[in-house]
């Protein structure tokens, strides 16, 4: 790659007069040996999967196998249609779409991990809702994914994108940053503004723990995806308005790594701390265990042969 940091990425784009997405496409081709058409078509397929997950999540309820989640996206979408949303339609739509994709994931549906399955709703939620609003083409959105990918590449190489390593700040935080930077580019912002959006997004998720109730990527993960899509819109708007990250974005990425490394293990996807350790969280876990044990016993009975 011709860039290792976000600052290098912005500077390289400025010096060559190209967008982040175009540079990332070229770098991906150089790394893979494939043609631009092949790389672009592959990314375009990913975007179609994202759009399908949004529509599937809104078309019907998607209860998870645990039964804990799967009905919030349609509720939020219906509330939005009533015209009562305090957020306003654009942000509320992004929130509903993000919830929809996350619920599809929890019900074992097909999604794209961006950058992880636990944060899979944020990019699609913000992207698809913004596409509907501004009339962007699928081609534009695909380039947007290349921009998000460049940002994710830097974050992954200098910090974490895994909740088990760095807490939810690494999953949801990274996804918000990737989305915010890409939205800036899609709205005509400069590479520098896109990079500032990354810093603005990340520093407002620092310290977010990963505390999945019952060890499942459902509570509070799905709701965090909804909030994440809204946060990405806010960070992009700030950057487009000219707000700069006072702490350089690369330093924010490094800080996320430092915070994640110092985070106690119980707050890193072990389901031993945070919301997972509350009385209700423990009760949910115990109920899931009893349900699983009963199901296993039933399966064992089905496998038993009758005495001859």
pLDDT at 302 over 80: no
Segment (H or E) for 75: helix 72-81
- pLDDT value at residue 301: 60
Banded model confidence at residue 297, pLDDT cuts 50, 70, 90: low
Q: What percent of the chain is predicted at pLDDT more than 90?
A: 93
At 277, list the tokens: 């350790």
Local structure of residue 210 (DSSP, 8 states):
B
Q: What is the mean pLDDT of residues 30-37?
A: 97
Does residue 19 have a pLDDT over 80?
A: yes
At residue 298 the predicted structure's pLDDT band, cuts being 50, 70 and 90, is: low
The DSSP secondary-structure symbol of 203 reads T
Interval 121-125 mean pLDDT: 98
Report residue 256's pLDDT band, with 50, 70 and 90 as the boundaries.
very high
Q: For the segment 164-214, what is each residue's pLDDT rounded down to a tens digit?
A: 999 999 999 999 999 999 999 999 999 999 999 999 999 999 999 999 999
Mean pLDDT estimate for the chain: 95
What domains lie within the chain, and their CATH numbers? 6-298 (1.10.4100)
d(CA 99, CA 57): 8
pLDDT of residue 13: 98
How confident is the model at residue 291, as a pLDDT? 87
Percent of the chain with pLDDT over 70: 95
Tens-digit pLDDT profile for residues 43-74: 999 999 999 999 999 999 999 999 999 999 99
What pLDDT score was predicted for residue 299?
64
Burial 252-279 (b: 16+ CB within 10 A, else e): bbebbbebbeebeebbbbbbebbebbee
Taking the C-alpha atoms of residue 184 and residue 17, their distance in angstroms, rounded to an integer, is 16
pLDDT of 296 reads 63
Q: H or E segment at 168?
A: helix 168-168
Answer yes or no: are the C-beta atoms of 204 and 161 closer than 8 Å: no
Q: What is the CA radius of gyration of the chain?
A: 20
pLDDT exceeds 70 at position 305: no
Mean pLDDT of 267-275: 97
The pLDDT of 137-151, averaged and rounded, is 98
Give the residues across from 210 on adjacent strands.
Answer: 268
């Amino acid at each position: 790659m011709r860039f290792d940091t976000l600052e290098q990425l912005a500077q390289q784009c400025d010096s060559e007069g190209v967008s982040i997405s175009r540079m990332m496409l070229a770098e991906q081709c150089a790394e893979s040996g494939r043609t631009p058409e092949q790389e672009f078509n592959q990314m375009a397929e990913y975007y179609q999967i994202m759009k399908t997950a949004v529509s599937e999540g809104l078309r019907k309820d998607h209860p998870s196998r645990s039964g804990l989640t799967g009905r919030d996206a349609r509720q939020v979408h219906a509330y939005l249609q009533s015209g009562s949303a305090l957020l306003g339609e654009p942000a509320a739509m992004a929130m509903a779409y993000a919830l929809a994709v996350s619920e599809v994931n929890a019900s074992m549906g097909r999604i794209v991990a961006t950058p992880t399955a636990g944060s899979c709703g944020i990019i699609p939620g913000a992207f698809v809702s913004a596409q509907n609003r501004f009339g962007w083409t699928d081609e534009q959105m695909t380039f947007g994914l290349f921009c998000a990918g460049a940002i994710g590449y830097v974050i992954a190489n200098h910090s974490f994108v895994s909740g088990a390593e760095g807490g939810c700040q690494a999953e949801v935080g990274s996804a918000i940053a990737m989305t915010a930077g890409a939205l800036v580019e899609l709205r005509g912002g400069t590479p520098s503004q896109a990079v500032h959006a990354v810093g603005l997004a990340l520093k407002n998720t620092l310290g977010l723990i990963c505390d999945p109730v019952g060890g499942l990527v459902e509570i509070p993960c799905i709701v965090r995806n909804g909030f994440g899509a809204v946060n990405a819109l806010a960070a992009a708007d700030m950057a487009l308005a000219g707000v700069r990250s006072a702490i350089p974005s690369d330093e924010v990425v490094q800080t996320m790594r430092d915070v994640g490394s110092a985070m106690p293990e119980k707050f890193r996807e072990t389901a031993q701390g945070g919301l997972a350790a509350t009385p209700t969280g423990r009760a949910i876990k115990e109920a899931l265990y009893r349900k699983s044990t009963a199901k296993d016993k039933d399966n064992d009975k089905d496998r038993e042969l009758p005495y001859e």
